[in-house]
Amino acid sequence: MTEVIGLGETDGVNTEHTFFGHPRGLVILFFTEMWERFSYYGMRGLLIFYLTEHFLFSQERSSIIYGAYTALVYVMTIIGGTLADKYLGSRKAVTFGAILLVFGHMGMAFEGQGSRDILTYNGLDYEISLDARGGDGNQLIISELGTSFISFNEGATQMLIADPANVGLPAAIPVNDYSRRTETEALYLNGLYLSLALIIAGIGFLKANISTIVGALYGFGDARRDSGFTIFYMGINLGAFLASILCGYLGITYGWKYGFGLAGIGMLCGLVVFLKYQSWLEGKADPPNLAKLKEKVLGPIDVELMCYLTGVGIIAISMLMVMNAHLVEQMYVGLLGILIFVFMVAYAFIRCEGVERSRMFAAIYFILAQIPFWALFEQAGTSLNLFTGSLVDRSMMGITIPAPVFQSLNAMFIFMFAPVLAILWIMLAKRNLNPSTPVKFALGVFMAGLGFLALVAGMKVSGESGLTAVYFIFLIYWIHTIGELMVSPVGLSAVTKLAPARAVGMSMGAWFLYSGLSNYLAGVIAATTGAETIGGQLTDAVAAKANYISVYTQVGYIAMGIAVVMFIISPVIKKMMQGAD
């Protein structure tokens, strides 16, 4: 820790506490965000398996629940950010969000017995279960006499009993001769929904606001600003990398509660760090008007309490939306996107003129152009995760790697290749060859499609029933990560530069809203890859693999086709940017 003396905005002398040349507040923001991302990605890698194997939801419904959850995470940042800007200030908002996150992640660790898959044959009930988690489990049938492994014939028309005598059943049972039902512990299922809602609200109050604090640490024109954000984002990826490995391994190998519990402990560490050292922020994240917070709005309820009650409202609404996500008509979600688009276009025509209007239209383009990328990229948590668990040979050096651990590849590749691309853009710029922002965006979307076509090629090489080689999973994550580096930082930067100063907040809100809609669309796409399961495991791997090939081929070519159109119109978009590239 060092102390430097510098000039502030006035002629007075200002004492700034720094750490390796940066405001020391960056240290606590780094670790708070690292632990928050640790908790988020630790839970994220396990969630789809938890839904399909512990609560025995179909793959289709699980994907829709996951899509609704991740969509709401983005959408609620708009409300949390607005309340912080107007009333709470970033420090109070981040603290409240972190507390909600601790309760949410800890709640995920209370798993109960989940659901039981009950098979009825000749008037008797049998339970179907698995002997492991994360796609590695073998299906078991359990009777009063004992247990036996089961499997299905090609086409899944018959259930095959490995040890018929152990369970008092024939060696083969036509699937039409038995019925199935699912018995669920309602208390723990509702606990799951409440925990997800707490996490949604918590991220809504924390995510956008902690980034705002990073910006507030640096004065206008401070040359350290970009470097500070780079360090901060390293914390994000470090948390994601560690969580995917540690939580993924514990959750699959030892039990769901251990993976989710570790994610909760991570968030608790983040909260403790932020509470203990928030004085290091030196008042730069305090409420804009302390007096305003104490104003009464309804009886004894003041503005600050009303903000927190709004968070409770977010929890209630999110819980209802997640638990009923499968009942929501997709056209309503699409209609929301259309209404926001119409509003932004109307704003550009009515409130903007000349160069400002042209740039606003370019900002709208980038806000919309992210949709095909994230819709494919976010398959990582759903369909690609399930595919890796069931249809990939995950053996490496004699060790079978749990499927959620592969989620760490994205963060690892960002560590490795973000500096490479940064240097590449600088080198190309010196030669006047640096691709324009619209071209980089088109490249990102193209690579999202290319990644899936590369995976499909690997699936076809392994034949109809063979497991796909694990290096194709490395390949798709690498291609998608390079695409992400061309879309995410580039798009965020472009929107902040293109939108009028008075509309930056609205434009960033729209960016997050469409990111949320993209995540919902990702869930819809993932649902189309859903296959028949019993006890949470596939009944017909051949048919499931064929469906993955079909869906991934379609979305791959569609994304690449959209990218080609984006390439063609990129000169027009660049011209609309009016030099703000």
For position 6, what pLDDT does the model report?
37
Q: How far apart (Å, rounded) are the C-alpha atoms in residues 511 and 522?
A: 16
Residues sharing a CB contact under 8 Å with residue 543, sequence separation 6 or more, in sequence order = 155, 156, 531, 532
Determine the residue type at 167: V
Q: Directed axis angle between helix 354-377 and helix 471-498, to 10°?
A: 160
Give the per-residue pLDDT at 496: 78
pTM of the full structure:
0.91
How many of the other CB atoms lie within 10 Å of CB of 69?
25
pLDDT at 23: 85
> Taking the alpha carbons of 273, 275, 279, 285 in that order, is the dihedral positive or negative?
positive
Q: Helix 90-108 crosses helix 303-323 at what angle (to 10 degrees)?
A: 30
Please name every residue paired with 181 in a beta bridge, in sequence order, or none if there are none: 118
What is the predicted pLDDT for the residue at 95?
A: 94
**Dihedral angle computed from the Cα positions of residues 264, 267, 269 and 273, in that order, rounded to the nearest 10 degrees:** -160
Cα angle 516, 99, 56 (rounded to 5 degrees) comes to: 55
Token match 């107007």: residue? 86
The answer for residues whose C-beta is within 8 angstroms of residue 419's C-beta and 6 or more apart is none
Instruction: Assess contact for 470 and 393: CB atoms under 8 A.
Output: yes
| Average confidence (pLDDT) per 10 residues, the chain, 581 residues | 38 59 86 93 95 95 95 90 88 94 95 94 95 89 95 93 95 95 95 97 89 78 73 88 96 95 94 91 86 89 94 96 88 88 93 92 94 96 96 93 95 91 88 91 97 97 93 97 89 82 80 91 95 90 95 98 97 91 71
